Amino acid sequence: MSSFYEQVGGEPFFSDLVSQFYAHVATDPILRPMYPDSDMKGAAARLQMFLEQYWGGPTTYQEQRGHPRLRMRHAGFHIDSAARDAWLNAMQVVVGGLEMDSDLRAQLWSYLEMAANSMVNQPD
Ligand code: HEM
């Protein structure tokens, strides 16, 4: 059984996903102010490494950043339901536009929805 990472075509898939996602972040009124002005490239690289590792690709994220502990790493950002929706909407546009198998798309989407819900740290 090959990994999800291999089935979607490896690094180029994740690079495409993340660069398109950050193009949305750059113009989103809720998300843009949350991300570091001077290090959008770094932010994109971290998300790409994380997703590649999560889906069975190289473990560069772990080597450079340590254990993901994503909820903890997001604790410093004000993530309410509006921020989650903005993040997920941007992802939905991107994931919906990528060339990929529909079962793999469904798997990716259900993970992203679950993960985004788990990152909410502010009540409405
Ligand atoms: C729910 C809405 C979310 C918001 C508003 C949000 C916002 C942010 C912000 C502002 C950063 C800092 C950027 C940087 O790395 O310098 C960040 C980092 C990161 N986010 Fe999110 N995020 C959300 C959901 C998610 C989800 C669902 C995932 C994973 C599937 C994720 C994965 C990451 C990763 C891997 C990093 C870098 C962590 C590190 O190594 O420092 N985020 N996020």
> What is the per-residue DSSP string for 36-94?
-GGGHHHHHHHHHHHHHHHTTS--HHHHHH-S--HHHHTTTS---HHHHHHHHHHHHHH
Q: Whose CA is nearest to atom 27 of ligand 1?
A: 116
The reply to whether 124 falls in a domain is no
Is residue 75 lining ligand 1, measured as CB closer than 6 Å?
A: no
Q: Whose CA is nearest to atom 42 of ligand 1?
A: 116
Is residue 49 lining ligand 1, measured as CB closer than 6 Å?
A: no
Domain range for 104 is 9-119
pLDDT for 65 equals: 98
Q: Say which CATH number the domain at 21 has.
A: 1.10.490.10
The number of folded domains in the chain is 1
The reply to whether 36 falls in a domain is yes
Using one digit for the tens of pLDDT, what is the confidence trace for 6-55? Answer: 999 999 999 999 999 999 999 999 999 999 888 889 999 999 999 999 99
pLDDT for 37 equals: 84
The reply to whether 1 falls in a domain is no
**pTM across the whole model:** 0.97
- To test ligand 1's pocket by mutation, which of 62, 65, 70 has the most ligand atoms within 8 angstroms of CB? 70
The reply to whether 23 falls in a domain is yes
Using one digit for the tens of pLDDT, what is the confidence trace for 70-123? Answer: 999 999 999 999 999 999 999 999 999 999 999 999 999 999 999 999 999 999
